[in-house]
Structures are given as C-alpha cells and as structure tokens.
Structure 1
Amino acid sequence: METKKVWFVTGASKGLGLALVKKLLENNYRVVATTRNSQSLISEIGETSETFLPLEVNLTDNEDVKSAISKSIDHFGQLDVIVNNAGYGQIGTLEELSDKEARANFDINVFGTLNVIRNAMPYLRQQKSGHIFNISSVGGYNANFPGWGIYCATKFAVAGLTESLAEEIKDFGVKATVVYPGYFRTDFLSKDSVKTPENAIPDYEAARNSQQAHLDEMNGNQPNDPEKGAEVLIRISKEENPPVHLLLGSGTHEFLDHKIDIIKGDAQKWESLTVSTAI
C-alpha cells in the first residue's frame, strides 16, 4: 500500500486551511495542522493520532517554528508538502496605518512564511523531494484596491519570494507554487480575520467605500467553494511538473487580464521615453 504524504498546513483552524486539512484527512493523508490555538483544531477535527498532529505555533517566532517542524518529523518521520496559508488582511490606506500595524501584517503574512520555509527546507533538501505551496491572493498581482496597500504588498512579497524559491530549490527535486486565490466563501472578511485602521482618516472616502463593500456586501457572497479549492491543491500536489503560478477561483483571470492590460497600456504609451535612455 502506498504511504500517504505528510502535509504541513499553517493557518489551519479556519477558511481554506481548515477545508484543506479536512479534505486531506478524508483522503487518508497524514497532516500536521498549525494554529495559534490548538484547541480550536482539536474541537473541529480531533486529538493527535497516527494521521493528525495539531500544533500551537507562533509563526513569527523562528525557534517555535523550528520546534514545530522537528515535532512533525518526530511524529510522522517525514514531511512532503508544505502549505503556508496563515495570514490576515490589514485594511487601511498607507497614510492611516501605523508602522506597528504595517509591520504586524508583514510579520505574519511574509516573515511567518519565511520561517516555515527556512526550517522545512533542510528536510526537503535532504530527501530530494517535496512541494511548497505559498498562499498569496489576487491582491498579490493586482493591487488597485484603495485601502488594501499593505495587505497587497505582503502578498506581492509572497509571490516574489516564491518565484525565487522555485529556482533555488529545483535542483533538489523540490517544487514551489504560489497560489493566487480569488474570493472564497470563508470567514476571511470577518472581524477575526481582517483588521481595520486604528486611526482612520475621514478624507479617504474611496478607501472606506472599498472597506465596507468587502466587509458588508462581499462577505458571505464570495463565488468560490473552499472545499473545491482544497481539491485543486491536492490535485496539483500530484503533478510531476506543477505550475509556479496557480490562479485559484472563478474571477481570478479577470484580475490578471486587467493588470496585464494596464501594464501593456502604460508601456506602449510611454515607450518613447522608456527607450530614450539608450547609449
């Protein structure tokens, strides 16, 4: 009988992460699931077993992440697929958000991801196999949403580091994929997953309208099913040559096409100046 792969999933207590963990266990994979509060995972799925290891991890603490990876190896004997899913949305214009608010979003969305990669790669590199999924967002390639600049910046960073990672690790037989989810019907837009600026500036009317549209109108009406999203990730993990970039969800191609049109339009309009610097 084939030994099922071991998945390490961060941000596993809700949303796409929880849907993925449940789908993996249904398909007899072995799963390490991390969260800030392991009791929420235990209540939702169950206690530690031969197929499931819930861990309470502070992703911003490199030593805590290192310990979690070590516990995972001790429990299952291997790691095969890493899913850096943990993150949250920080709403607020660049002027409104404090240095503390901006850095906190980067700490989880970017540096938490780097901590996992840094500590998982020695095992993946040694076994000459593995796959790392880094969850970005449609906001990781198209950031024309007023009031979402810091969040989008974190997701652009995730996309950029994954592109480099894919090149760095391919000689070891390890794959990397950046996933750009669109709007999935999860609790991402709830008050527990999205933070608003502590000191809002009333003049930013467009940002407030965007904020309210997401929190009041889009929340609960997202067009994509997280369980189906989880199935896609499992399918991609089986591919011999998986994509480095994976659009995930209905509507994501429209965001991509819009960004490409904008860049091409600007490039064509200002081409004479672009090439005017040649020696």
Structure 2
Amino acid sequence: MSKNKVWLVTGASKGLGLILVKKLLSSNYRVAATSRTVASLIDEIGDVSDSFFPIEMDVTSDNNVKGSINKVVDHFGTIDVVVNNAGFGQIGTLEELSDGEAKNSFDVNVFGCLNVIRHATPILRKQESGHIFNISSIGGYIGNFPGFGVYCATKFAVSGFTEALAEEMKGFGVNVTLVYPGYFRTNFLSKGSVKTPVNPIEAYSIARESEQAHLNQINGNQPNDPEKAAEVMIAVSEQEAPLVHLFLGKDAYQYAGTKIDLIQKEMEGNEALGTSTEILSE
C-alpha cells in the first residue's frame, strides 16, 4: 500500500487511536483524525497540514458524521483506510445499568461505528479499493466477564456486523478487518475513559470485585504494547489479501482458545438433544 494513502481514524485523541495516528504520520501517510474536541487533537499532534487533518466529530450524529467525512474528502480528495476506533467501556451488571446508560453505550460503540461505515463505504466502493478496520475487543468474542455485559454486547454487535460487512465489500475490492484487542496499556480503564454504574447494587459482589480488579490492578499493568498494536494494523493494511479476524495479544489468543474449547465441549454434550429437532421424512 502506498504511503500516500489517506487514513481516517476515529476516537484519535488518546489511547490506541492517538498512537496509531502518530505512527502513521511518522511513516508518511496522510491522516484525518476525529475526536469530540478538535483542540485535543491539535494539542497532541498539531494543526491542519497537507498530511494531517484534525476534525471534531460526534459519531452518534449521523448528519455530523456525514458532514465530517465530506470535509475529509474535500481536504485530501479521498479516503483509503477507515479505522472505527471511537468507543468507551461501561462497567455494570445488566440489572444495575439504567436504560440510558445501556443505550449510550450502544449509541457510541455500535451506532457510531455504523454511521461512519454508512458514509465512508460509498467512497471506497466507488474507487473499488480501500480497507476498513473495526475495533471490537476480546470482549466481543467472549462475554463471561461479570459487570461487563453491556460493553461486551456492544462489541459482539461490532463483531457480528463486521463479518457481514466483509462479505458485502468483497465484490468492490474493499478489505475489512475485525480487530479483537486483549488488554493494552492505554488509558482505556482510567478515570474519564471507563464509566461505572450510577446506581451500583452491593449484592453483586463478584461484579464489584471484577470492577475493582480492572480499575486498580489491571489498569497500568496491561501486558500489551499499543505501539506494537499500531504497527500490526499498519502491516495488515499493507497485505495483499488480509484476513478478516485479527486477534491482538497473547491474552486475546488465550481467551479465544478457551471460548472455542468450551463451545466444542458443550456442542458435544448437547449434540443428541440439539440435533433432534429435524423433521423426519414421513
């Protein structure tokens, strides 16, 4: 892939998004980066230039996303690689999270991603080239983390529609990659990024233990380097025929392997009952 390609990275003011943008610019790609506040992008990276276009974008607003993508095309002439990275973590059991908390998670993590896809794919489809990276999570493949059900649900949704998107884009020469990161040492679990339930229920002791473990023990001690994650994504973008599923981190591989083993065992355990539903010929 030519280093002259234009990347669009959402949620780029911190974490993996910011690291990826800096890595791309240092490798002479052209980059449009979005955030809820453009000032944060300018402070971290710099102002508008021939290679960098910071833009304020609210992924939950379809009209705002459409207008922002049009501005990117006006600035660079096209878009070649889209990274749907914007999102946040919501901690809380299914009972204790309010309707508003749950819907906000889906608005940002799911519908925000769909809004970007809706307005970016026409560009890629018409030029019959490009690449879309949708950032899910290992929690979008295995969901048995107490207190993370809604977050996992949003990432399962991303995983599901990304698999469909990969099939839909095949005829247009557009590659699609579904990224399942494990635990990376970013500010994802820090205050101001992750959200905790407004009205926690004390009875959920296991969920509270999981919550505290993530906020106090795992945060700052994650085993994976986001700089290396950015390098992997750039390398995948340069592959001639990239695979759809990209697990990032040894921990992601371990979690996925555990899920695969469990499913196989439970399919075998219920096989007689599970396959007894067919209509027998009369």
**TM bucket by the smaller chain?**
over 0.9
Alignment partner, residue 76 of structure 2: 76
Question: What's the CA shift string for 1:18-39, capped at 9, x where partnerless?
Answer: 0000000000000000000111
Amino acid in structure 2 at the alignment position of 1:30: R
Compute the TM-score of the two structures, normalised by the length of structure 1.
Answer: 0.98
Alignment partner, residue 230 of structure 1: 230
Pairwise mapping of residues 157-196 of structure 1 onto structure 2 (< 5 A)?
Answer: 157-196=157-196
Question: What's the CA shift string for 1:218-258, capped at 9, x where partnerless?
Answer: 00000111111000000000111111100011211110111
Preserved CA contact (<8 Å) 2:3 2:27: no
Alignment partner, residue 251 of structure 1: 251
Cα deviation for residue 3 of structure 1 reads 5.8
CA distance in 1, matches of 2:67, 2:126: 18
Cα deviation for residue 154 of structure 1 reads 0.4
Alignment partner, residue 264 of structure 1: 264
Q: How many residues align?
A: 278
Pairwise mapping of residues 103-182 of structure 1 onto structure 2 (< 5 A)?
Answer: 103-182=103-182
CA distance in 1, matches of 2:179, 2:30: 22
Cα deviation for residue 17 of structure 1 reads 0.2
Alignment partner, residue 273 of structure 1: 273
CA distance in 1, matches of 2:205, 2:127: 53
Secondary structure at 1:86's aligned position in 2? coil
CA distance in 1, matches of 2:252, 2:82: 23
Unaligned runs of 5+ in 2: none
Amino acid in structure 2 at the alignment position of 1:122: P
Secondary structure at 1:21's aligned position in 2? helix
Alignment partner, residue 20 of structure 2: 20
CA distance in 2, matches of 1:115, 1:198: 28
Amino acid in structure 2 at the alignment position of 1:49: S
Secondary structure at 2:8's aligned position in 1? strand
Unaligned runs of 5+ in 1: none
CA distance in 1, matches of 2:27, 2:5: 11
Give percent identity, aligned residues only. Answer: 63
Secondary structure at 2:190's aligned position in 1? coil
CA distance in 1, matches of 2:72, 2:32: 7
Amino acid in structure 2 at the alignment position of 1:271: E
CA distance in 2, matches of 1:173, 1:51: 25
Alignment partner, residue 219 of structure 1: 219
Compute the TM-score of the two structures, normalised by the length of structure 2.
Answer: 0.97
Secondary structure at 1:186's aligned position in 2? coil
Alignment partner, residue 207 of structure 2: 207
CA distance in 2, matches of 1:263, 1:243: 23
Cα deviation for residue 12 of structure 1 reads 0.1
Alignment partner, residue 242 of structure 2: 242
Question: CA RMSD of the aligned region, Å?
Answer: 0.8
Secondary structure at 2:34's aligned position in 1? strand
